């Protein structure tokens, strides 16, 4: 070890010759949003569009997690309140509330989001399994990403499963 | 003259003795001895005081000489003379008694002496006349004394009253003089005060004139402020309208930014679906989103500013309005004040004039008062003399009353009735 | 959840239907105009469907025919009858699992939000069920 070496000199000795291959670190892309105090990620392939919440038409005697319907591109979209669905509270619709259009197979549904955080690529290695023995919400999670700060964490949703469950719950009634 | 007088008594004994049976028996015996004895006995009896003693009738008849009869006649005459002498003496005594009483007690009423005696009669009659005259005098003097006393009393009363009223008058005059003195001082004070008032009124007049000028300037200033205020209100109104316009523009910007955000999001999703080819697209979309978010942040700030400006302009408009009202009422107040000052000027002028008149009048009054005081001093002097005189008169009247009293007292000692 | 496949028929082929729009509280609803016999003054005994919201004053009643006789639904106002193209009508998505009388949605441009279409005869059945 040379006594004259600096931190930069040491760093440059370890630096790679070319850009590291992306495949070396596989990533998944998530559509990230916040609703209430919770931050979620939905696989980006499940999200087609983001809309303004606008005015919803409430429906009589639907399950409580169906906030109502909205018309979008000539289609009637049921709008889901994730907080109610996961028993984490209740979403509120304000002037800047968004609804994203989620798809899974032939099923299409709107989901309420207070703020859209954007698309984020998450290294698969960063995804931790959902906590065992957690609450009922855990069964709809792909996993979690613990961020550096207390608000950077993400709950990655298994959106297809979520839509399936929702449909089952509605029909069972 | 009474027959019961003590002079009769010695005569009774011999007569009784003559009538007694013993004496008759003794005489009978003597007659027998001496024929002259009845005569001598009778004479002896008369000499011893029994003036009624007479030679008994049987002896007289028996005496042919008539001596007994003569003797009896002599004795009768003697007895009658003696009797008259006694009566006169008695009447003189009585008259003397009456005189003594008259002198001693002054009783003129008891003089009632009369006599049969022709020699004594005129004397007593003369006395009676003198006493009667005295009686009339006494009566008249008595009446006069009574009247004098009453008059003296009246004089004393009148004099006393006069003295009292004179004293009162003197006191009143003294008081009046004192009051006049006070009045003199008071009017001097008033004159002085009126002078001060006149001076102060003069000063006030100056001040009020200055005030009138100041109020004029104030009203002008108020008018200026009002017109400035109108300009300010106009500016505020324009500003308010512009701010509202800015608000509308900001709403539009907001809307555009929100749409941009949505567009960018959807573009990013589109890019994501395009796979590796859409990667650059996604980066641009993300950048666009950031820009939209920045715009939204800025518009949020602008909105806050607009809200603040709106509040401020509302406050300013309110203040301008208040200022307008204030200046209007200020102008009104100024007009009122100007009017008031005009009134004050007129009032002060009047006051000044009045004070001057008062000063003059009080000076005249002072002169008049001084004259009155001098006159009062003279009157006081005269009154003092009058009082002195009436005091003397009262003293004299008192003395007179005393004298009248004494006179009446003296006269009372003489009893006329 | 709803089938996203586009209908192959063109809009013109489908024609139109008369829809009566009415108001209960703050919400607008639509119903088949032919189902409504008349509009009447509301009576105290008239039907209210709690899930559609409570009427403000409820002075009007929609009178409709049912096999059991006339039904009276209390409403606040009747907004009018419009001929609505079938192209803007949608069946109620099964996933929404709404009440049986909520039969469809009208995506008419004239309305600020999708309008829920009601089968009046079904409302009476629902009410009977409770």
Block mean pLDDT (10 aa), chain A, length 173: 75 77 74 93 94 89 91 90 91 92 92 92 88 76 79 86 87 67
Touch B-A: 3+ C-beta pairs under 8 A: yes
Alpha-carbon distance of B384 to B391, in angstroms, equals 10
Nearest chain C residue to A73, by CA: C107
Q: Is C98 contained in some domain?
A: yes
Q: What interhelical angle do B120-273 and B67-105 show, nearest 10?
A: 20
Is residue C4 in some structural domain? no
Regarding predicted confidence, which is higher, C37 or B229?
C37
Please report the pLDDT score of residue A3 as a whole number.
62
Task: Give the single-character DSSP code of A54.
Answer: -
> What's the rounded Cα separation, in Å, for the pair B227 and B185?
61
Cα B75 to Cα B52: distance, rounded to the nearest angstrom: 8
- Tell me: the pLDDT tens digits for B193-234? 888 888 888 888 888 888 888 888 888 888 888 888 888 888
pLDDT at position A104 is: 92
Q: Is residue C107 part of a domain?
A: yes
Domains of chain B: 1-100 (no CATH), 158-412 (1.10.287.950)
pTM recorded for the entire structure: 0.54
Q: Report the gap between the CA of A105 and the closest CA in chain C (Å).
A: 9
Chain A nearest-CA distance from C19, in A, is 18
CB C92, CB C105: distance < 8 Å? yes
Q: In the prediction, which pLDDT does C28 show?
A: 93
Q: Dump the DSSP string for chain C.
A: ----PPPSS-HHHH-EEEEEEEEETTEEEEEEGGGEEEEEE--TTSB--GGG---SS--EEEEEEETTEEEEEEESEEEEEEEEEGGGEEEPPGGG---TTEEEEE--TTSSSPEEEE-HHHHHHHHHH-
Q: Assess if residue C9 is contained within a domain.
A: no
Which tokens hold the place of B130? 């003198």
Q: Hunting for tokens 């009415």 — which residue is that?
A: C22
Structure tokens at A14: 């370890």
Question: What average pLDDT does this structure show over B379-401?
Answer: 85
CA contacts within 13 A on the Cβ side of B210: 6
Break chain A into its structural domains and give their ranges: 28-172
- How many other C-beta atoms are found inside a 10 Å radius of the C-beta of residue A29? 18
Average pLDDT, chain C: 84
**8 Å CB contact of B286 and A118:** yes
Tell me the average pLDDT of chain B: 81
Interface contact A116, partner B, CB < 8 A: yes
- Residue B8, pLDDT score: 45
Is 80 exceeded by the pLDDT of residue B21?
Answer: no
Query: Which of A29-38, B246-255, C5-14 is the least confident region?
Result: C5-14
Given an 8 Å threshold on Cβ–Cβ distance, is A69 in contact with C96? Answer: yes
Residue C67, domain member (yes or no): yes
Q: Which of residues 94-113 of A touch B (CB under 8 A)?
A: 96, 98
pLDDT band at B272 (very low <50, low <70, confident <90, very high): confident
Element (H, E) at A70: strand A66-72
C92 within a domain of the structure (yes/no):
yes
**String of DSSP letters for C5-41:** PPPSS-HHHH-EEEEEEEEETTEEEEEEGGGEEEEEE
ipTM: 0.79
Q: Render pLDDT for C65-116 as a digit per residue (tens, 0 to 9).
A: 888 888 999 999 999 999 999 889 999 887 777 888 999 999 987 778 899 9
The 10 Å CB-count burial string (b at 16+, else e) for B33-67 is: eeeebbbebbeebbeebbbbbbbbeebbeebeeee
Do the chains contact at B268 and A49, CB–CB below 8 Å? Answer: no
Report the gap between the CA of B318 and the closest CA in chain A (Å). Answer: 33
Question: pLDDT tens for residues B66-108?
Answer: 777 888 888 888 888 888 888 888 888 887 887 787 778 777 7
What pLDDT shows up at residue A150? 55
HSE, CB side, 13 Å, CA atoms: give it for residue A87: 7
The mean pLDDT of B15-44, rounded to a whole number, is 61
Return the residue in B265, B267, B286, B289 with the most chain A beta carbons within 10 A, the one to mutate for interface testing.
B265
Higher pLDDT, A53 or B55: A53
The helix/strand/coil state of B415 is strand
* Contacts A59 to C, Cβ<8 Å: 92, 96, 98-99, 102, 116
Look at B214 and B408; give whichever has higher pLDDT: B214
Residue pair A43/C81 in contact (Cβ under 8 Å)? The answer is no
Q: Which of C85, C96, C119 to mutate to test the interface with A (most CBs of A within 10 A)?
A: C96
pLDDT of residue B130: 84
On chain C, the residues whose CB falls within 8 A of the CB of A168 are: none
| Helix pair B37-47, B67-105: axis angle to 10 deg | 10
Which residue, among B110, B338, B130, B103, has the nearest Cα to B222 in the 3D structure?
Answer: B338
Structure-token pair, residue C101: 């009388």
Q: Is the residue at C62 inside a domain?
A: yes
Which partners does chain B have (≥3 C-beta pairs < 8 Å)?
A
Instruction: Please state, as a whole number, how many other Cβ atoms lie within 10 Å of the Cβ of residue B105.
Output: 12
Which residues constitute the domain of residue C60? 14-129
**Domain spanning A28-172: which superfamily?**
CheA-289, Domain 4 (2.40.50.180)
Tell me: the pLDDT tens digits for B394-403? Answer: 888 888 888 8
The answer to whether residue C2 sits within a structural domain is no
Radius of gyration of chain B (CA): 76
How many CB atoms sit inside 10 A of residue B360's CB? 12
pLDDT category at B19 given cuts 50, 70, 90 is very low
pLDDT, residue B128, reads: 81
pLDDT of residue B20: 47
B273 to chain A, any CB pair closer than 8 A? The answer is: yes
Cα-Cα-Cα-Cα dihedral of C34, C35, C41, C44, to 10°? -170
Name the pairing type of β-strands A38-43 and A154-157: parallel
Q: Which residue of A has its CA nearest to B282?
A: A119
**How long is chain B?**
417
Instruction: Give the total number of structural domains in chain C.
Output: 1
Put simply, the answer to whether B282 touches A31 (Cβ < 8 Å) is no
């Amino acid at each position: 070890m040379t006594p004259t070496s600096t931190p930069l000199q040491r760093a440059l000795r370890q630096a790679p010759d070319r850009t590291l291959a992306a495949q070396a670190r596989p990533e998944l892309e998530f559509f990230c949003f916040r609703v209430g105090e919770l931050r979620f990620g939905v696989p980006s392939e499940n999200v087609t569009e983001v809309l303004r919440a606008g005015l919803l038409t409430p429906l009589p005697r639907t399950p409580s997690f169906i906030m109502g319907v909205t018309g979008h591109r000539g289609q009637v979209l049921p709008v889901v309140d994730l907080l109610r669905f996961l028993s984490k509270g209740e979403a509120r619709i304000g002037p800047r509330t968004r609804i994203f259009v989620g798809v899974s197979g032939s099923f299409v549904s709107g989901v309420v989001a207070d703020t859209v955080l954007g698309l984020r690529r998450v290294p698969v290695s960063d995804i931790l399994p959902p906590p065992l023995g957690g609450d009922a919400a855990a069964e709809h999670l792909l996993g979690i990403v613990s961020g550096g700060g207390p608000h950077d964490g993400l709950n990655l949703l298994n959106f297809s499963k979520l839509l399936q469950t929702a449909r089952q719950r509605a029909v069972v009634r | 003259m009474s027959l019961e007088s003590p002079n009769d008594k010695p005569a009774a004994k011999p007569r009784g003795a003559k009538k007694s049976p013993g004496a008759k028996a003794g005489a009978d015996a003597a007659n027998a001895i001496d024929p002259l004895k009845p005569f001598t006995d009778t004479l002896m009896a008369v000499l011893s005081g029994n003036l009624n003693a007479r030679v008994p009738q049987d002896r007289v008849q028996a005496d042919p000489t008539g001596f007994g009869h003569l003797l009896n006649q002599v004795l009768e005459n003697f007895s009658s003379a003696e009797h008259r002498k006694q009566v006169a003496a008695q009447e003189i005594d009585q008259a003397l008694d009456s005189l003594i009483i008259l002198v001693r007690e002054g009783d003129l009423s008891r003089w009632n002496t009369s006599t049969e005696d022709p020699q004594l009669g005129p004397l007593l009659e003369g006395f009676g006349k003198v006493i009667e005259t005295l009686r009339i005098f006494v009566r008249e003097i008595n009446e006069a004394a009574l009247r004098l006393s009453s008059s003296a009393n009246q004089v004393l009363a009148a004099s006393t009253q006069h003295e009292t009223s004179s004293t009162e008058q003197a006191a009143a005059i003294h008081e009046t003089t004192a009051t006049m003195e006070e009045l003199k001082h008071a009017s001097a004070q008033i004159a002085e005060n009126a002078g001060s008032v006149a001076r102060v009124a003069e000063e006030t007049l100056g001040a009020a004139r200055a005030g009138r000028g100041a109020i004029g300037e104030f009203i002008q200033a108020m008018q200026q402020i009002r017109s400035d205020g109108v300009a300010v209100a106009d500016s505020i109104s324009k500003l308010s309208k512009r701010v509202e316009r800015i608000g509308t523009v900001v709403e539009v910007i907001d809307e555009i930014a929100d749409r941009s955000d949505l567009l960018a999001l959807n573009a990013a999703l589109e890019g994501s679906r395009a796979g590796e080819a859409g990667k650059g697209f996604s980066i641009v979309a993300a950048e666009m989103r950031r820009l939209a978010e920045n715009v939204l942040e800025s518009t949020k700030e602008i909105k806050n500013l607009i809200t603040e400006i709106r509040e401020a302009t509302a406050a300013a408009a309110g203040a301008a309005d208040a200022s307008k009202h204030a200046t209007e009422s200020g102008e009104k107040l100024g007009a009122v004040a100007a009017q008031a000052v005009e009134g004050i000027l007129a009032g002060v002028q009047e006051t000044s004039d009045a004070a001057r008149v008062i000063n003059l009048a009080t000076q005249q009054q002072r002169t008049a008062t001084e004259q009155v005081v001098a006159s009062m001093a003279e009157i006081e002097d005269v009154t003092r003399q009058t009082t002195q005189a009436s005091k003397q008169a009262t003293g004299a009247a008192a003395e007179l009353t005393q004298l009248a009293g004494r006179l009446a007292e003296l006269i009372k000692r003489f009893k006329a009735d | 959840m709803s089938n996203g496949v586009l209908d192959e028929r063109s809009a013109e082929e489908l024609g139109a239907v008369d829809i009566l729009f009415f108001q209960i509280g703050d919400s607008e609803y639509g119903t088949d105009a032919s189902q409504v016999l008349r509009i009447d003054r509301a009576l105290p005994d008239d039907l209210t469907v709690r899930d559609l919201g409570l009427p403000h004053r409820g002075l009007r009643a929609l009178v409709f025919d049912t096999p059991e006789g006339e039904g009276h639904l209390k409403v606040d106002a009747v907004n009018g009858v419009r001929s609505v193209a079938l192209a803007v009508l949608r069946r109620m998505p099964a996933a929404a699992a709404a009440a049986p009388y909520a039969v469809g949605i009208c995506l008419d441009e004239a309305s600020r939000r999708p309008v829920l279409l009601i089968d009046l005869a079904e409302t009476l059945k629902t009410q009977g069920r409770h």
